[in-house]
Amino acid sequence: MRVLVTEDDEILARTVADGLRQEGMAVDVVLDGGDALGHLDANRYDVVVLDRDIPGVHGDDVCRALADRRAATRVLMLTAAGSVADRVEGLGLGADDYLPKPFDFAELVARVRALARRAAAPLPATLEHGELSVDPARRVAVRGGRRLPLTRKELAVLECLLAAEGRPVPAEELLERVWDEAADPFTATVKTTIRRLRAKLGDSPVIETVDRDAPPPSAPTPPHRPAAPRRPVRRSVHAGRRGGSCYYLPARLDDDEPRPGTTESGVPRH
C-alpha cells in the first residue's frame, strides 16, 4: 500500500509517516500542496492523508485536482477544522473521509486501510491461496497452520502477489507498490526480498518467476470482482533489461497438487 502524507507540521508529518510504515505501508511525505501535486503526477498512491490548511497550493485545491482527474487515489482530510460544517465542506470538495485533529492513531490506520481497499478492486479481508493466507490488517501470514516470520516488506510483497490473483507482477511494479520514493530504482532489492520470502514460505514453491516477454500464465480473474487497473510504475534496473522478471502465484487451489511435469510426489518426470 502506498500513502502520501501532506502536512506542513513536519514533526507531525514524520510521526504519522513513521507510524504508517510500522504498519507495513510505503509512505512519502510532502510539506506543501505544490509538492503534493508533483508527487501525485509522478506516482500512484492508494491514499493521500491531506492537511487542509497547507502552504502553496491549498489542500482544498489539491482535493479538487484529484476529483477532477477522477483519480483512484482516496483522500483522507486530516485537519484541525473539525466542525460539522467543515467536515461537510471537505467531503463536498471530493475528500473520501475526514478526521479532525487531535486524533487517535489506531483510528487513522483503520481509516487509511479502509480507503485503500476502495482504491483498487475490492478484496477480501483475508487473502488466500491454497494453504497460504494473509491478513493485511493484522499483518499475519500463515501457511499450513504455521505462522510465517515475515518482515514488513516481505509481507507487503506477498500481499501484492496474492491480490494480483495469478497476474505476473513486474519487479518494478513491486518496487513502486511496496517501497517509497527513497528506494533506489537501480537495485536488486525486489529480487533479494523474493528470495528471502521463498525461503520462509518453505517447500512446495508458491512464487513463480516468468520473463516479461513470455506468454502470461493461465489465471482467469474471478467473475464477481473486476480486475484492478494497471498502474504506471517507475523505471528500474529490472525494466532496463530486455524482458525482465515478473513474479506470480500459480492458479493452483491445493498446495499438494503436483506441478506440471512432476509426479504426485513432486519428483520431475523423465
Q: What percent of the chain has pLDDT over 70?
A: 77
- d(Cα 247, Cα 233) in Å, to the nearest integer? 15
pLDDT of residue 121: 60
pLDDT of residue 184: 74
* Higher per-residue pLDDT: 83 or 198: 198
> Cell digits for 23?
504498519
Choose the weakest-confidence range: 77-86, 87-96, 141-150, 257-266. Answer: 257-266
- d(Cα 231, Cα 44) in Å, to the nearest integer? 7
Query: Checking DSSP bridges between strand 26-30 and strand 47-50, what pairing results, if any?
Result: unpaired
Choose the weakest-confidence range: 18-32, 66-80, 135-149. Answer: 66-80
Query: Checking DSSP bridges between strand 140-143 and strand 146-147, what pairing results, if any?
Result: antiparallel
pLDDT(230) > 50? no
pLDDT of residue 257: 46
Of the chain, the end-to-end C-alpha distance in Å amounts to 43
pLDDT of residue 217: 57
From the list 234, 230, 212, the residue with the least C-alpha distance to 221 is 230
Q: Which fold has domain 2-119?
A: Rossmann fold (3.40.50)
pLDDT tens, residue by residue, 243-261: 468 888 886 544 444 444 4
Read off the pTM. Answer: 0.60
- Annotate the chain with three-state secondary structure: CEEEEECCCHHHHHHHHHHHHHCCCEEEEECCHHHHHHHHHHCCCCEEEECCCCCCCCHHHHHHHHHHHCCCCEEEEEECCCCHHHHHHHHHCCCCEEEECCCCHHHHHHHHHHHHHHHCCCCCCCEEECCEEEECCCCEEEECCEECCCCHHHHHHHHHHHHCCCCCEEHHHHHHHHCCCCCCCCCCHHHHHHHHHHHHHCCCCCCEEEECCCCCCCCCCCCCCCCCCCCCCCCCHHHHCCCCEEEECCCCCCCCCCCCCECCCCCECC
* Higher per-residue pLDDT: 77 or 137: 77
Choose the weakest-confidence range: 61-75, 117-131, 210-224. Answer: 210-224
Cα-flanking dihedrals φ and ψ of residue 75, to 5°? -115, 125
The most confident of the ranges 29-33, 94-98, 126-130 is 29-33
- Contact by Cβ (8 Å): 150, 140: no
The most confident of the ranges 111-120, 130-139, 141-150 is 141-150
CATH of domain 127-216+232-248: 1.10.10.10
pLDDT tens, residue by residue, 164-217: 888 888 888 888 888 887 777 767 888 899 999 999 998 878 898 887 666 555
* Higher per-residue pLDDT: 215 or 32: 32
From the list 204, 207, 194, 209, the residue with the least C-alpha distance to 150 is 194
Domain ranges of the chain: 2-119, 127-216+232-248
